[in-house]
Structure 1
């Protein structure tokens, strides 16, 4: 099914052309092909996975994040800059905004953080931590409130169930015959350090929640994951494996789509880069599944976006949709790293087993997810500066579940090979910082408990005095918070009456024909959990209506 030959030599017109073979794209292609929806072409900029895949291959190892060799080499500004406003004003330096001080600093800021999203068949699901957490009912209430009545908890639950095979919690809330295995580590088998964390959660009033996917909010329990015996079961393995040989499905790798081609406002195919040159592929329907960074950039390059930006770049407009690239969001988190005592940690053992959802203490809301990162080899940590000679480390992570801060992604050049400007906007809303500060204090109380502190010999950066000082804590959180590689929300769905909505609740791009989006860029708000399982659910739900 996978081919690398010149697509320009193939003059057929495809019924469905799906851009991006990540979580959403792989599932969408598999479902459309299996339902005999006509011929389906799935395009991926990265490589295919090896078949058969050795268990030692990094894409098979659920015990590590994959941050090299199978990733987009994006650089992101963790905050924001004035670059977009400068572009729309015609390149004039920013005056008086106080955010970055102008173009030079903005460009320096944007290159600060390596934002290594998946670039391989399977996308983010092939390189992530294989955590399979659902969003919460209140997340989907917010989607409903944003003008998407088909996305209530009751209406999305059947699609979560359809994709999963949850062996631990059979019953009405879970599926038992879907392609994606969901497994948890029983409490009596968790690592001693995770067991100590669990016990301390109980001692501090966080009750047991054996199924973190049952819709309840507060509690501590085993993390559901899409891994079996340590092997990551990504979207390609789960959804594409059974349909790869169907005659109506073709996968082409090594093709980077630069833009959608239109006749007036009707999508008729794509332009793609192959070995440094541009080729054209025609299709009657185009589905963008390039992710919350890739999808808005393709739209902007195609003439779908904010009129001011398109004019500044000299791009012929197709649809004026100012929401394209706006409201990019990711989960900010702070990780406190410690050195374990000798013999506590072992390389290769599971690194995420237990998580707790709780109130940070900012107010009574359940607003943070706290958990251990265990058995971690320090050289695998992005941005970790290890001057202390700690080969193994333990982290306690505080993730803000529903951040208010928003960023954006946009082009600053019409060059089809130009990299996007990614501004994550982390901590730009003061409430996010305050909630994380409270969460860090809560996590610190876990670290100082006898069950954990007796197994840890030293903590990097943080101290009792720093955590107790409001100003020092706030400064530390602002400078140390990182994203979770959970990019979402940059092409949100909503009714045409919403000036910032990019697509309707079935993914159809406003102001265009035969063009849909199926990926996390559609999320009106970010789920209160890592985004992969919700991305798969969304693709499963949208695939049902794509033939209509």
Structure 2
């Protein structure tokens, strides 16, 4: 990126975007395409080109490229916590995640519309999914060829033996093959679509910022952490930040928060925008009382089955996520995902690394795509550098546990089938007796469910009449002028898929409405 002159600290900008992640990089590029607008993109981390899928898909949180937060798992009822790492680099979580380019389902977006956001119905978002794609495998009117995001799937001939075994095991259990998991909402097993070229992940930094035609009116400031918004009455007029260790203020006609579902509510709360009771407890005067800020936190809970792979089941340079299945826990829409990850490094992972002596593992995860459990994100105190209180309340809703039990049983059936068990050695923890016993299995699912680092919902969209909403359907913050939120925090509910592709679609669309 072209460095910016220090004197620019005192300049005024047309647009300031906070966070150069999965959404912020997209919004910045789209706004800067309007040549009459000077756009400043602020990123707390640094630009680290070259994250490749080999390590990154096996270890989604790359050292030094994320916010090393910790989250409570169980709704504050206990002391169980889990590392909660979201991207802190140009490209954000899209630079460190699993590079899975899976759309949400039609029912996900129709649910957003039913919650008072009609512009986000499936028929309204499908053209935008199509527009962002450069799908190298699938054609037809519902897939794009000329968009910025390359999408590739491994062919059956490229599957590792363990991936081939997974497909055959699912098929033996009655799950049909589905070559295109981005086509509608059918159940099936098939190849994972990835935002990659060869073995190189394509984050939003790659697809939207690191381009030869990057506009000259777009500037990027790295190592610039935004503390709070600057307000004049009910209008946001800029941000207060720390850049390379020095305080600075930046004024702007428009500010767009793209800091993600953890950090966006923190910036709002520090600025006096949020639940008045939470703010008062910290001594922060309330500018706008929006109780929904920091509430409605949602993540995908997953229960994993770890096993040592037999020699040769995965190539050392293989893509980690090659195949997956989408199924239903009962009548109705698909709500469970089974992800197979081969060749997963175990060195340094507590317990797992010791049991497997650092050998690569095969991991089969049952993921609940549509959880009902909701958590919170809030400031711990007003001191700089203090981590937030993230309470995921993961799988605390009994219905979530019921469905995860179904998913874990299905995953165990797949793992135990001859087609897949021939590729692995004995699994850790799980046994036939445990999985067959309802009481034992519910206890194990509750204890071992973990988040997938897909936080959404903490500044949810909805009409002003909805007291739990924070932004309207056009991503404008209620009660303020000059402020938008465009990131996963505005999603009213989590899509039944990893959130990356939905974030890119959301940002491409919302950029049209800013200013």
TM-score computed with the length of structure 2 as normaliser: 0.96
- The Cα shift of 1:207 comes to 1.1
Q: Secondary structure at the match of 1:47?
A: coil
- The Cα shift of 1:311 comes to 1.2
Q: Secondary structure at the match of 1:198?
A: helix
The Cα offsets for residues 432-474 of structure 1, whole Å up to 9 and x where unpaired, read as 1111111111111111111111221211011111111111111
- The Cα shift of 1:275 comes to 4.0
Identify the range of structure 1 (161-170 vs 118-127) with the bigger mean alpha-carbon deviation.
Answer: 161-170
- Look up the match of 2:16: 17
Alignment equivalent of 1:429, drawn from 369, 375, 397:
397
Check whether the contact 2:160–2:313 (CA below 8 A) recurs between aligned residues: no
- Look up the match of 1:32: 31
Cα distance change, pair 240–545 in 1 and its aligned pair in 2 (3 A): same
What is the distance in 2 between the residues matched to 1:394 and 1:204?
20
- Look up the match of 1:322: 291
What is the distance in 1 between the residues matched to 2:391 and 2:278?
16
- Look up the match of 2:368: 400
What is the distance in 1 between the residues matched to 2:348 and 2:472?
40
Alignment equivalent of 2:441, drawn from 470, 473, 476:
473
The answer as to 2:301 corresponding to 1:332 is yes
What is the distance in 2 between the residues matched to 1:57 and 1:215?
30
- Look up the match of 2:137: 168
Alignment equivalent of 1:222, drawn from 191, 197, 212:
191
Q: Secondary structure at the match of 1:67?
A: coil
* Structure 1 residues without counterparts, runs of 5 or longer: 82-98, 101-107
Check whether the contact 2:377–2:458 (CA below 8 A) recurs between aligned residues: yes
- The Cα shift of 1:359 comes to 2.1
- 1:294-373 correspondence runs (5 A): 294-360=263-329, 362-363=330-331, 365-373=333-341
The answer as to 2:453 corresponding to 1:454 is no
Give the number of aligned pairs.
515
The Cα offsets for residues 275-305 of structure 1, whole Å up to 9 and x where unpaired, read as 4442211111000000000100000000100
Alignment equivalent of 1:200, drawn from 146, 158, 169:
169
Alignment equivalent of 2:74, drawn from 75, 79, 83:
79
Cα distance change, pair 55–537 in 1 and its aligned pair in 2 (3 A): closer
What is the distance in 2 between the residues matched to 1:356 and 1:34?
39
Alignment equivalent of 1:543, drawn from 508, 511, 515:
511
Check whether the contact 2:324–2:338 (CA below 8 A) recurs between aligned residues: yes
Q: Secondary structure at the match of 2:66?
A: coil
TM-score computed with the length of structure 1 as normaliser: 0.90
Check whether the contact 1:3–1:253 (CA below 8 A) recurs between aligned residues: no
What is the distance in 2 between the residues matched to 1:447 and 1:246?
50
What is the aligned-residue RMSD (CA, Å)? Answer: 1.9
- The Cα shift of 1:5 comes to 5.7
- Look up the match of 2:484: 516
- 1:137-286 correspondence runs (5 A): 137-242=106-211, 245-286=214-255
- The Cα shift of 1:524 comes to 0.5
What is the distance in 1 between the residues matched to 2:287 and 2:90?
30
- Look up the match of 1:500: 468
- The Cα shift of 1:17 comes to 0.1
What is the distance in 2 between the residues matched to 1:189 and 1:431?
38
Check whether the contact 2:348–2:358 (CA below 8 A) recurs between aligned residues: no
What is the distance in 2 between the residues matched to 1:37 and 1:480?
52
- The Cα shift of 1:329 comes to 0.4
The Cα offsets for residues 227-267 of structure 1, whole Å up to 9 and x where unpaired, read as 11111011000111226752211000001001011001100
